[in-house]
Structure 1
Amino acid sequence: MSLVGLIAQADERGLAASGLACLDRCLPLLGGDDELLRPLWAGLVDGEDGAAWGERLEQARGKLGDADLEEPVGDETGDVSGDAAGGNATAGDAAVRLARRMLAAAPPVPSAAGLRVWADACSVASLRIHALLGGAAPDESDAALSGARQEGRTEGMPPLVAAELRRQVVVLELLAEHGAGGLRRALEVSTEGRRVLRAVVSRRARVKRG
């Protein structure tokens, strides 16, 4: 099934895990430690109520500093074109801004409707982040990414983007098949992806320093 189809059919836990996993893989861009989102993952495992999700979400935001997070406007989440990316922002700047918006846009009350919008936006944003850090221009890959999400294909995609697409699919499939029992493996998949992205970010920083 395509990524879009999996998101459309996922339940609340699957949607929360999908969005959280995308955000977790992008933590190297946020400057937070690798444990920043662990309380939210733990809440999904324990099946905690919406109030606990909201409290843990605010704690994560507070550790990064609320002033550093950017609230999305309308359907702007994930957009890295033109002014939405900060005008002449570099690919690295745009990727950081997208990651911050992913956290800022997380719904404080985990309803199915709100989580579905967030999970879909996180999917798009994370793929664009990987495209940008893989060397794509801000608007170069939008059509390709949309097609890949709709059709469930990775042919012709840059390796970094193809791997991220596969991870998103795996996380949703794990939750669809195993429910809470799939969360441990989903977290492992996300941890692997975070290590890959951290290596990419570190390499770009070394190149920038010259």
Structure 2
Amino acid sequence: MTGADSGAGRAAGAHERVRRSYDAVAAEYRARIGDELAGKPLDRALLGALVEEAGAGAVIADLGCGPGHIAGWLAGRQRRVVGVDLSPAMVAIGSDRHPEAEFREGDLLRLPARDGEFGAAVALYSLIHLAPDELSPALAEIRRVLRPGAPLLVAFHIGTEVRNLTEWWGHPVDVDFHYLEPTAVTGALREAGFRIEAELERAPYPHEAATRRAYLLARRED
């Protein structure tokens, strides 16, 4: 086996572990997290800004959509929305709970979308499941499915650590959470062909895990 084959195999195995882990907690995740935007005023404001930036008629992608709560919120603003998630259980829940949006099963490294299909995208806490060497390829893939000038909103936990969960809400799992430094993500975005338009950080809300969070609003260059 060549080094490239070995690396691809490790990546596939890691993604399969993420898929199985989210399948295992999908129903509990929906019950606990599905209404979280009601308690996140800053997130709602940033998503609202993205809707305005996208403009009428734009299709918005929710990448790493989980149970579809953000896709549903966006669709409620009279926008066409496509949610994409690695977990088929999450896709099934999203399709059932939010029929006003479309849902597709897919990987951030191989998005199930045409070149330039979307007029905007959000990736909230989905980049955190990528290995460090997958960040740039994933952002390049996101750029591929965005039309020129389209905005992208990403969010992630700030830091340099990797946390592995083997138990989540009483379910056995095996999933890594990669905390990210904002400078690393802004650099990868620029390298992938995005212009950074806004950066901000916030402390956690009382009901959230105790991590600082970063938000980056970027735009695909022509």
TM-score normalised to structure 2 length: 0.30
More helix by share: 1
Query: When the two structures are superposed, what TM-score results if normalisation uses the length of structure 1?
Result: 0.32
Which one has a larger percent strand, Structure 1 or Structure 2?
Answer: 2
